[in-house]
Amino acid sequence: MSNAPTILVDGLVFPEGPRWHDGRLFFSDMHDRRVLACDTNGKLELIARVPACPSGLGWLPDGRLLVVSMEDRRLLRLDAGGLVEVADLSTLASFHCNDMVVDGHGRAYIGNFGYDLHAGASPRPAVLILVEPSGRARVVAEDLLFPNGTVITPDGKTLIVGESMGMRLTAFDIAADGSLANRRTFAQLDGAVPDGICLDAEGAVWIACPMTGRCLRVRAGGEVATTVSLEAGRGAFACMLGGDDRRTLFICTARGSHPDQWIANRSGRIETLRVEVPGAGWP
């Protein structure tokens, strides 16, 4: 495996939430307020405009796209006539909603900042919210330090969430009704802030580390099996295993995350790298 990513798409504002679906990579260009899709040649298609900033993406079993609308804390669904509200999360999420994983039943698990990160507010614990396909929403985990990237194992029985400000990956058992139990540390990370994450077929988690410009492949217990370093000054904000064999690692990169600094800069990229172990589970 080469450790030097190649550029697939350039000139984005701030790509996040990458998901491989139906032969293409879908992602949110968050601060440009658009959901986009690209093929393996980098050809882009506009999927939707989301005025309050898109973040996490996923699909219902019937193929309809779900989109997290960050600033107004809503879950949206893309129907034939456009985006419609599935759930208003403003009474459950204490600040902007962010990443999401949707399981095989169409249940969406959504994190949130917990506090105003970009304004320099003091960190506060946040919750993980479960939204049923019907739109019913409830809190399924509390006291998380910035719950961010989330994955579910292929058997549908374990959820792993990256606690960005806790510098750890935390695992839960998933009950039949989607509730979470048996909270435990999957990996305590040494100086790495996990942002977007994805899972591979050996049970290791790839994590994007924005502060250090790396992607790490982490095994249960915290062993770092692989390190991918980006160009100096560039952060990794999310990653996804995709391609026909799910052995292409797609990395969302940019030179910063603050919207006021980078909208005009357009430093965002999708970069790719071939890896040995294919992706697995959800997303």
Domains of the chain, by residue range, sit at 6-274
Token pair for residue 22?
């139906």
A 10 A CB-CB count for 15 gives 28
Is residue 2 predicted with pLDDT exceeding 60?
A: no
**For residues 118 and 282, which has the higher predicted lDDT (pLDDT)?**
282
Please identify, in words, the CATH class of the domain defined by 6-274.
mainly beta
Average pLDDT over residues 41-59: 98
Please report, to the nearest 10 degrees, the dihedral formed by the alpha carbons of residues 82, 281, 245, 278 taken in order: 140
Q: Say whether pLDDT at 266 is over 70.
A: yes
Residue type at 80 in one-letter notation: A
pLDDT at 34 over 60: yes
Gap between the Cα atoms of 277 and 205, Å rounded: 11
Whether the per-residue pLDDT at 196 is higher than 90: the answer is yes
> Smallest Cα–Cα separation from 246: which of 18, 49, 67?
18
**Max avg pLDDT among 113-122, 153-162, 252-261:** 153-162
User: pLDDT at residue 13 above 70?
Assistant: yes
For 89-146, how does the pLDDT look when each residue is reduced to its tens digit (9 = 90+)? 999 999 999 999 999 999 999 999 876 666 666 678 999 999 999 999 999 999 999 8
Structure tokens at 189: 């990370």
State the pLDDT at residue 101.
Answer: 98
- Report residue 45 as tokens: 């298609």
Tell me the pLDDT band of 4, cut-offs 50, 70 and 90: confident
pTM: 0.95
**To which H or E segment does residue 123 belong?**
none
Which of 68, 33, 58 minimizes the C-alpha distance to 48? 33
- pLDDT score at 112: 94
Alpha-carbon distance of 217 to 187, in angstroms, equals 11
- Taking alpha carbons only, the member of 241, 103, 238 closest to residue 172 is 103
Instruction: Say yes or no to pLDDT of 1 above 60.
Output: no
Report the percentage of the chain scoring pLDDT > 90. Answer: 87
> For residue 3, what are its two tokens?
């450790």
What residues does 57 pair with on adjacent strands?
Answer: 67
Confidence of residue 8 (pLDDT cuts 50, 70, 90): very high
